[in-house]
Amino acid sequence: MSETSFVEQTKTFFQELDVPMVQKPLVFDSLSSTNAKAKELAQQGAQEGTVILSRTQEQGRGRFDRTWTSPEGGIYFSIILRPTCKPEQATLLTFVGALAVWKTIDDFCDLAPSIKWPNDVRIRDKKVSGVLLESESDSAGMKYVVLGIGINLNMDIDVLSKSFHATSLSYELGINLDYYRFLKEVLTNLHSYYAHFTLGDHAWLLQEWKLHSDTFGKKVRVESSAKTIEGIASDVDESGFLLVTTKTGEVKKVTSGDCIYFG
Ligand code: BTN
């Protein structure tokens, strides 16, 4: 697809889109990272619901400074949110993003997607989507949250990052999916899960996330820069932090890290 046609077609898509959460879409043919751009705009005061979407990203960012390979055919966008919540509650927005993608895949295709703590949407144990939450807060609460979503929609798997055990929906299905139909569903689902969040329906969101996660009961190793914790993933707390029961029976809370299934 040519540069102009993607940008023009996507602007038309947004003009016709009726998802109240999406207030001000900005569309690019190529960006370094939609999250980086969204952060810049959020710091300049951009309103809640500003969406930055790009056809490709040159330096797509994953968690823990990884690269999110972002060739043509994938969905890459970030949305600026200004929730009135405590910083520890904002972590649940990762679940909001993962659930929106999970539900869209589940509605579109018979692929039994699942969610690995905290934000990987996977098909047959391979990652098809990730969510990157970046935020700023002060003593008064959250200043902004940038929720970035990357989905490997229509692409060969050999172009995908080797640092993730990755797949794409088109590879798993053997056909390409309609970019705009899929994007519309993701944004619609995001709107609906975010509405639960803003209404304070956090227990419901956690339940919903638990229902679709395959992490519980798994033997996990969670690696962060500070430490590595091993044990059985037993639950998540009200902020979405993972509770791991170690072999001594102690329950440890993991606030962030890379979760690996083993054993
Ligand atoms: C992860 O699982 O590590 C998170 C991946 C998040 C990728 C998306 S693509 C759109 C947005 N812009 C970025 O630079 N990253 C996120």
Query: What count of Cα atoms within 13 Å lies in the side-chain half-sphere of residue 130?
Result: 22
* CB of 63 closer than 6 angstroms to any ligand 1 atom: yes
Average pLDDT over residues 214-230: 91
Q: What is the pLDDT of residue 139?
A: 86
Pocket test for ligand 1, best of 149, 160, 187 (most atoms within 8 A of CB): 149
Strands 251-254 and 242-245: antiparallel
* CB of 61 closer than 6 angstroms to any ligand 1 atom: yes
Q: Which phi and psi (to 5°) does residue 67 adopt?
A: -95, 135
Take atom 15 of ligand 1 and give the residue whose Cα is closest. Answer: 61
| pTM for the whole structure | 0.95
Question: Could you tell me the distance, in angstroms and rounded to a whole number, from the CA of residue 134 to the centre of ligand 1?
Answer: 10
Tens of pLDDT, residues 105-154 = 999 988 999 999 999 999 999 999 999 999 999 988 899 999 999 999 99
Q: Which residues contact 259 (CB under 8 A, 6 or more apart)?
A: 116, 117, 118, 215, 220, 221, 222, 233, 242
Take atom 16 of ligand 1 and give the residue whose Cα is closest. Answer: 148
Q: Looking at the DSSP assignment, which residues form a beta bridge with residue 231?
A: 220
For residue 3, pLDDT beyond 60:
no
Ligand 1 atom index nearest CA of 127: 2
* CB of 97 closer than 6 angstroms to any ligand 1 atom: no
Average pLDDT over residues 209-222: 96
Q: Which residues contact 253 (CB under 8 A, 6 or more apart)?
A: 237, 241, 242, 243, 244
Pocket test for ligand 1, best of 27, 50, 59, 61 (most atoms within 8 A of CB): 61
Question: Could you tell me the distance, in angstroms and rounded to a whole number, from the CA of residue 234 to the centre of ligand 1?
Answer: 27
Average pLDDT over residues 157-166: 79
Q: What span, in angstroms and rounded, lies between the C-alpha atoms of 200 and 149?
A: 22
From residue 175, how far is each of 36, 65, 168, 178 by CA, in Å?
A: 32, 32, 11, 10
Q: Answer whether 243's CB lies under 8 Å from 257's CB.
A: no
